[in-house]
Structure 1
Amino acid sequence: MSVATAERASIAELYDALVELLGPRGVTTDRRMLERASVDGARMSPVISEMLPLGVAEIVAFPTTAEDIARVVDAAVSRGVPVTPRGKGTGNYGQAIPSHGGLVLDTSRARAIVEVADGVITADAGAPMAQLEQAARETGQQLWMYPSTMNSSVGGFLAGGSGGTGTIAHGANHMGFVVALEVVHADGSGLHHVVGEEAQRYVHNYGTAGIIARASVRLEPAVDWRALYASFETFAGPLSVLRELGRLEPLPRLVSADTREVSAALPQDPAIPRGRSSLRAILHPDTVATATALIEGAGGRVEDVRTGAAEGAKLSTLSYNHPIEWLQKSRPGHYYHLEVGGDILADDIALVHDTIGGGLLHIEAGHTVPIGMLAAEYRGPEEVLAAIARLEAIGVGVHNCHQWNVDFEMPRTVELARSTDPRGLLNPGKLNPDYRGPQKGSIR
């Protein structure tokens, strides 16, 4: 029997096993469904877009509980079929694309809220973060941190994200956010309960060392936040007050600002006037007056102050990579973007923009220094690498997000995967210590 024939036989056998486990609606090999499950938001990256598609699933499973997630993984790995976990598919860089075919494990139907306790909420991996926030608020609590894409799943956010609304107070990379996880290894051993530092080893590694099936994350007392919208004639205005706003006590949930060009690309809202630089903040109600004085003292004007959890959530969707994504939609294929950080973003934005031959910044008040997304005209992957070098030379911290390889605690994840995934079946192609960036036409 040839290798190809053996692989087809394994998929057919797995299909039958999953039908028995999940029912006929819990598994599919329909071509349209396979293609739909094999894409994420990678088209945001012009570098990765040049290489799409990176891979296509051969079978997709839709478990509805954490226990079924474990059973599906066990069924696949026992037959040597690679498994690519997928949440809501909101990631931007191909981490959920099945580069080696095999099974896509779509967790989006496993969305039960298991428990809301004092300071902790537990949910299955596919539960949307907005659902967790709503459940928490019904008990007078709120999520300690949530992503700008609030419809992303808790499992996907923990496996692929790195921070979100709330990082001014709590920092990024989920440190302290994750209380416990139920994870699945590629050895047929079912669910493993991990807590504290052990749980952190499974965060932000795209399921390459263990797939998150259930998560317990931290809550804090709810705040009746205010969503403040302001505008300035130029970008210099919000830059002059961004850090001071970010240090208000009690600390804000979020402070964001954009150049006039990026602001003009945002969804139309009377509080985001065209031709002006927008600043938006999720503030504790006790700090609104102080924030207003700071803004007006810097020549800005407060456009609106809105009340309610929904308004804060809406404002959060205009933070982090979202403004630059709106800019990219205004001129498809024209812009690339980089994650950046450092005081120089606020202190000398003209130098930053000039260093990459003209650019547009979305900026956030970070936990320690300003962070943001920097957009510039795309002239090919080589120019992206050259721009990174020039930015680093002037003191800008840069993360090259145009790649799908694990980029957080790589040695730790490699060491963990040696025992949890000895055959390399969990999201293969995403954990390569020798990775040096995407090459057009290749996948590693």
Structure 2
Amino acid sequence: MPATQESLDTLRVALVDLLGDRGVSTDQRTRERASVDEATMSPILTEQLPLGLADLVAYPASADEIAAVLQLAARHGVPVTTRGKGTGNYGQGIPLHGGVVLDTSRARAVVEVGDGYVTAEAGASMVSLEQAAAAAGQQLWMYPSTAQSTIGGFLSGGSGGTGSISHGSNWEGFVTALDIALPGEDGLLHVEGAEAQTFVHTYGTAGVIARATVRLEPLQDWRAVYATFPTFEQALTAVRTLRGTTPAPRLVSADRAEIAAKLPKDPAIAVDRASLRGIIDGVVLEESRDLIEAAGGTVEDVREGLQQTTKVSMLSYNHPIWWLKRNSPDTVWFHVEVGGEALIDRIAEVEAVYPGALLHIEAAHIGPIGMLTAPYTGAEDVYAGYPALRDLGVRVHSPHQYYVDHGVEELVALKQRTDPAGLLNPGHVIDPALVESGGSTASAQPSIPGFGK
């Protein structure tokens, strides 16, 4: 239920007292910007926009202020939708019922770097955490392909990315502790271990992550490796063999020449050859070169340094599809998240499911995963391809939805305890049975661990 104007007006005064004039906005354009994410990646979601509009935007500058904003909103019965940098692709940060968008991007302190862990406030960017870890001779277990996204946003709405070949998804041991803001409770609730994991990938619907502690490991000598291949099928072979090196790569991505031609211009990415980019440990650099050449490829360049490996991360997961969309203005593209060995073994059949389809592929701890993209001809055509993909042995996850579809039964039970009034990101949790059947917006399937934001 949307908040009354009286409640919103009273809340705005209270938020200004807490955060100052610059910490609260009712400006129309500001509210519009705070009410969208990268859901425009999906033409199906785009057709439904705008889905909601914030009445207020609040900018707390610390974990304690995040909790204080939530308490004020709860006291006045105003819904709260939490936001990081707005880099999510699924509409999970859209305030479907208005209210307050709680923008955490100013709460960006890196609190502590210890032996095997880093603690930071929700608005700290993942790249800043990686830099802080590197200064201490360590590295994050994982970070999303959008490296400038926030730790709170990644844990709330993301799944995995760079580092997931070894460590899986961000709900598989990456998080060791969280400080959670809850409606009806002063201050922050500290949770650890398995209890902390229950708040991960819940879109801020059961509690607002205000501070997080995540795992680090010893720093490795990573190199950014660029290779090209005459055919995509040869690149697929290299994706499979590179994944098996020890130590494992931090990332391996590959694209057909048609997608590679749309990526940012780089002398190591040919416009007429399939492209492979990897983050490879220096210990296995020569072994990796041999595997690439054995698959028919050519190593075009090897680059050192965090800036270069981050650049490779930013050309993985959804990013190649984003560049394809941006640089193909005459075509509307959709994508479907897919996984399984059939992406390599039966690539021609997989791409034949949709006319004009192209696959972007990633190596992952559960086998290859990817984004199957094709020209958009309508939502019904998109969903009609899902059974055909499954018949080929492909796992399918729909990106065309704004509700949580991972661990929903457990989330519903948790939310009944932590948010009985339903003020946290309302509309983004639906009946578990509807999730399995597709709900109101998509033919949803169980999430594929390892997909990045």
TM-score by length of 2: 0.94
SS of 2:275's partner is strand
Q: 255, 261, 271: which one pairs with 1:258?
A: 255
Matched residues in 1 for 2:56 and 2:293: separation?
Answer: 57
Counterpart residue number, 2:81: 84
Q: How does 1:146-225 map to 2 (within 5 A)?
A: 146-225=143-222
Are 1:377 and 2:353 an aligned pair? Answer: no
Counterpart residue number, 1:360: 358
How far is the alpha carbon of 1:174 from its aligned partner?
A: 3.1
How far is the alpha carbon of 1:438 from its aligned partner?
A: 4.4
Tell me which moved more, 186-195 or 311-320: 186-195
The residue identity in structure 2 corresponding to 1:415 is A
How far is the alpha carbon of 1:437 from its aligned partner?
A: 4.0
- Please give the per-residue CA displacement for 1:98-140, whole angstroms capped at 9, x wherever unaligned: 0100000000000001111110100000010011111111111
How far is the alpha carbon of 1:365 from its aligned partner?
A: 1.0
SS of 2:112's partner is strand
Matched residues in 2 for 1:193 and 1:270: separation?
Answer: 49
Q: How does 1:283-298 map to 2 (within 5 A)?
A: 283-298=280-295
Q: 280, 287, 305: which one pairs with 2:302?
A: 305
Q: 388, 409, 412: which one pairs with 1:411?
A: 409
Counterpart residue number, 1:346: 344
The residue identity in structure 1 corresponding to 2:136 is T
Q: 316, 320, 337: which one pairs with 2:317?
A: 320
Matched residues in 2 for 1:104 and 1:300: separation?
Answer: 48
Is the CA contact 1:224–1:309 (under 8 Å) kept in the aligned structure 2? Answer: no
Q: How many residues align?
A: 437
Q: How does 1:241-252 map to 2 (within 5 A)?
A: 241-252=238-249
Matched residues in 2 for 1:438 and 1:264: separation?
Answer: 36
Are 1:110 and 2:119 an aligned pair? Answer: no
Matched residues in 2 for 1:138 and 1:295: separation?
Answer: 32
The residue identity in structure 2 corresponding to 1:235 is F
Listed as ranges, the gaps of 5+ residues in structure 1 are: none
Matched residues in 2 for 1:316 and 1:340: separation?
Answer: 19
Counterpart residue number, 2:138: 141
Counterpart residue number, 1:15: 12
Q: 417, 420, 439: which one pairs with 1:422?
A: 420
How far is the alpha carbon of 1:439 from its aligned partner?
A: 4.5
- Please give the per-residue CA displacement for 1:153-195, whole angstroms capped at 9, x wherever unaligned: 0000000001110011111243111010001112233310000
Identity of aligned residues (%): 56
Are 1:401 and 2:428 an aligned pair? Answer: no
Q: How does 1:42-121 map to 2 (within 5 A)?
A: 42-121=39-118
Counterpart residue number, 1:267: 264
The residue identity in structure 2 corresponding to 1:65 is S
- C-alpha root-mean-square deviation of aligned residues, in Å? 1.3
Is the CA contact 2:430–2:439 (under 8 Å) kept in the aligned structure 1? Answer: no
TM-score by length of 1: 0.96
Matched residues in 1 for 2:155 and 2:313: separation?
Answer: 18
Matched residues in 1 for 2:36 and 2:59: separation?
Answer: 16
Matched residues in 1 for 2:287 and 2:279: separation?
Answer: 13
Q: 129, 132, 135: which one pairs with 1:132?
A: 129
SS of 1:265's partner is coil
Is the CA contact 1:42–1:91 (under 8 Å) kept in the aligned structure 2? Answer: yes
Tell me which moved more, 428-437 or 54-63: 428-437
How far is the alpha carbon of 1:358 from its aligned partner?
A: 3.3
Are 1:389 and 2:387 an aligned pair? Answer: yes
Is the CA contact 2:84–2:152 (under 8 Å) kept in the aligned structure 1? Answer: yes
Counterpart residue number, 1:337: 335
The residue identity in structure 1 corresponding to 2:388 is R
The residue identity in structure 1 corresponding to 2:87 is T
Matched residues in 1 for 2:194 and 2:406: separation?
Answer: 15
- Please give the per-residue CA displacement for 1:232-272, whole angstroms capped at 9, x wherever unaligned: 01101111121110110111101111011111111100000
SS of 1:241's partner is helix
